[in-house]
Amino acid sequence: MRLKVDGKEMEAREGALLLELVQVPTLCHHPHTETRGLCRLCLVEVDGRLSPACATEAREGMEVWSDTPGLRALRKTLLEWLLLTTDLSLAPELQALALALEAEPGRWGEVPGRKGREAIEDNPFFLRDYAKCVNCRRCVDACGDGIMGVYALTLTGRGLLAHPTTPLDRPLPETPCVFCGNCVQVCPTGALRPLTEV
């Protein structure tokens, strides 16, 4: 099929995601977990409407824009809110992107967030530091349908305070967790990290 991306004609295979055709930042997307289009960093303009590139299939005749002033402003705002609510000290790629987009989180004032949450060390293998969690849900998906199918991680809370946890908030050794480390591998911000790195 043929479509236009950033003003240029392109060919794409049937079923290709727009993410395969454009260069945009991603956060919640990971090739080994289910794509949900949650973080919105990869939004592109498709025929005048916003669509997540990680969850939108290419279509014949589609016109896609991946880097407009409006999209840059949107990505900048998203990163500002992440910086306000979350400790991104172990996420150098997000910090670099925020710098490139000239993010100014201070312009929003104070908002409730995850910063200051105590890290949970309830097993001998890895730390759960939800102050650094951006709620991308990669870990939950890796533990569940995406890779392992053991469902030792789930979500709790709503909005800015939503975060992964264990069922009934039990210590990890009391869940079906087999400590495979897949959740640690897919975490983009160091919210889950090996104790050997702490």
Question: How far apart, in whole angstroms, are the C-alpha atoms of residue 62 and residue 98?
Answer: 29
Q: What is the pLDDT of residues 60-111, one digit of tens each?
A: 999 999 999 999 999 999 999 999 999 999 999 999 999 999 999 999 998 8
**Would you say residue 31 has pLDDT above 90?**
no
What angle is formed at CA 27 by the lines to CA 51 and CA 125, rounded to 5 degrees? 150
**Would you say residue 197 has pLDDT above 80?**
no
Confidence class for position 36, pLDDT limits 50, 70, 90:
confident
Give residue 51's pLDDT: 96
Long-range contacts of 157-160 (CB under 8 A, 24+ apart): 160/85, 160/111, 160/112, 160/113, 160/114
Q: Which amino acid, 129?
A: D
Q: How far is CA 198 from the centre of its chain?
A: 22
SS (H, E, C) 25-45: CCCCCCCCCCCCCCCCCCEEE
User: What is the CATH number that goes with domain 126-194?
Assistant: 3.30.70.20
Mean per-residue pLDDT, 38-67? 95
**Would you say residue 198 has pLDDT above 90?**
no
Helix (H) or strand (E) run with residue 123 in it? none
CB-based contact 154:167 (threshold 8 Å): yes
Question: How far apart, in whole angstroms, are the C-alpha atoms of residue 150 and residue 152?
Answer: 6
H helices within 36-142, ranges in order? 69-85, 92-100, 138-141
Higher per-residue confidence, 31 vs 78: 78
Neighbour-count burial for 146-155, b at 16+ CB within 10 Å, e otherwise: bbbeeebbee
Give residue 120's pLDDT: 96
Q: What is the pLDDT of residues 122-173, one digit of tens each?
A: 999 999 999 999 999 999 999 998 899 999 999 998 877 788 999 999 999 9
